[in-house]
Amino acid sequence: MTIEETLKRIEEKLEKIETDIAQIRRQVLETDAKNSKSLIGLPDHLRKTALGLMKIGQGTANDVSKHTRRARAVESDYLNQLERQGFVTSFRRSRQKFFSIGNDLRTNSEASEV
């Protein structure tokens, strides 16, 4: 394979990556718009928790409490409420329970996973 052929293949792969990135950006913008609409329907205390979780992406009740400046136990309760409503998903790693924004903020249809 010549250098020109190698460069051509690299260029084609870069173009594919650029296309993929553009598609991901569109999906993120669409998701953000849908998330904003879903957040409006939440009570203030749960909205603050959801926004705190959105800022960090994924974390424990303790992580969220650092952003909301509320007690860990309060955030744990609110995160569990959001999970029951389908807005948040969770998983356990060792003894810690980690939360992330669930599909319900986007589709309002899927249940959470534990």
> 26-54 pLDDT, tens per residue?
777 666 655 665 777 889 999 999 999 98
- Name the E strands within the chain: 58-59, 88-93, 96-101
Asked whether residue 66 carries a pLDDT value surpassing 90, the answer given is: yes
pTM of the model: 0.60
pLDDT at 87: 87
Q: Which CATH class is domain 3-105?
A: mainly alpha
Rounded average pLDDT over 54-77: 95
Neighbours of 77 (CB within 10 A): 15
Q: Is the pLDDT of residue 107 over 70?
A: no
